[in-house]
Amino acid sequence: MEIENKPMNDSEKWTDDKDDKEERLSISLMPLSAEKDSDDELRLVSVRLHGTGRPVHALSEGITILRGDHLIIDTGQGEEIGVASDWSKRVKRQAVEDRNYSWVIRLASNDDLRHFEENKVLEKRAEAIAREKIEQHGLEMSLVSVQYGFDNRKITFFFTAEGRVDFRDLVRDLASVFHTRIELRQIGVRDETAMIGGLGTCGRELCCCSFLTDFKPVSIRMAKDQNLAMNPGKISGMCGRLLCCLAYEHDAYLDAKKRLPRKNANVMTPDGPGVVKEIHLLQEKLTVALDGDDTIEVVVYDADDVRVEQKHGESDKGSPKKRQSR
């Protein structure tokens, strides 16, 4: 498959450059520091390689980078194109020199962007061929995405599978077709969702493809501690796994549970004695059923206005004390 690459004349180049300058100047009013970086400072910027997926961090020196700029990045394994997903921040050179960060080589030119679009066309063709080869070899794997390296020295095929897959014959077959380095990389369902992207139930962009750099363990215990209904559709993300955000406020819930009375605990309120019927952990409020002569009144109180009534053999949380074995 051949792609026609017509060179632009001088007038077209001048017009494109002028438009780029006007676009960059139009957003130069954003809060950028006017101070020049010192010799011991670098710029750290978040970059989404190929414009999608989780951002990676890259260092730059002497380059003014605005959010949304296309950049050419040296990843250590070759050059890649990416988009700045945030404003750059100053960092001390000494603090980052030992870390394995990518480096910003330059701002992407019009030729770089044209080459990136050409690679997108090649990726679609490579994906169709790879799916056909996978079916021919009878491999139980699902192809997720195909990425050409910006320098076209490597093609990476991302796939998911239930277990390990012997794809050595597939690699040789693909190498004979594309005549370049082939890499097949198995990813998990969360990585697949991060690459595809989407919106969460909160209406915001998925955490895994916006700011999360790694996946921390999430357990069903976290959902129970937050008094959430055990409905898989409510506590699961697009990947089918438990929501990553269950871990964000888990420590706050645990802290509140330690300080607030337990359910069914006997308490004393400003309106008299009652029993805790419901606990609102984040608001730190309690729904209490007051003991009346003929009726039971349910009232919501602030936790600070309620005192636990301790009975013989009970702790200050309203539950029986455990006997200590001798």
Per-residue pLDDT, 314: 52
Cα–Cα dist 90/69, whole Å: 17
Task: Quote the pTM value.
Answer: 0.65
Per-residue pLDDT, 292: 64
For residue 67, tell me if it sits in a domain. yes
For residue 11, tell me if it sits in a domain. no
Q: Domain limits at 56?
A: 41-108
For residue 7, tell me if it sits in a domain. no
For residue 289, tell me if it sits in a domain. yes
For residue 136, tell me if it sits in a domain. yes
Residues 6+ apart with CB under 8 A from 1: 121, 122, 125
The CATH number for 291's domain is: 2.30.30.30
For residue 185, tell me if it sits in a domain. yes
Residue where one domain finishes, among candidates 60, 77, 108:
108
- For the chain, how many structural domains are there in total? 4
Q: Are 103 and 119 found together in one domain? A: no
For 94-106, the pLDDT digits (tens) are: 777 767 788 898 9
For residue 79, tell me if it sits in a domain. yes
Q: Are 82 and 120 found together in one domain? A: no
Q: What are phi and psi of 103, to 5 degrees?
A: -125, 140
Question: From the first residue on, what is the mean pLDDT of each consecutive set of 10 residues in the chain (326 residues)?
Answer: 44 44 39 56 84 78 87 86 84 75 89 92 94 91 90 91 89 92 90 84 84 82 86 86 88 84 84 84 83 71 79 52 46
Helices (H) and strands (E) in the chain, counts: 8, 14
Q: Which is nearest to 191 in space by CA: 52, 58, 51? A: 52
The partner residues of 276 in beta bridges, in order of sequence, read 288
The partner residues of 72 in beta bridges, in order of sequence, read 81, 106
| Coil/strand/helix, residue 103 | strand
For residue 94, tell me if it sits in a domain. yes
Q: Are 229 and 177 found together in one domain? A: no
Q: Are 74 and 127 found together in one domain? A: no
Q: Which is nearest to 59 in space by CA: 41, 39, 34, 77? A: 41
Residue where one domain finishes, among candidates 108, 141, 161:
108
Per-residue pLDDT, 310: 67
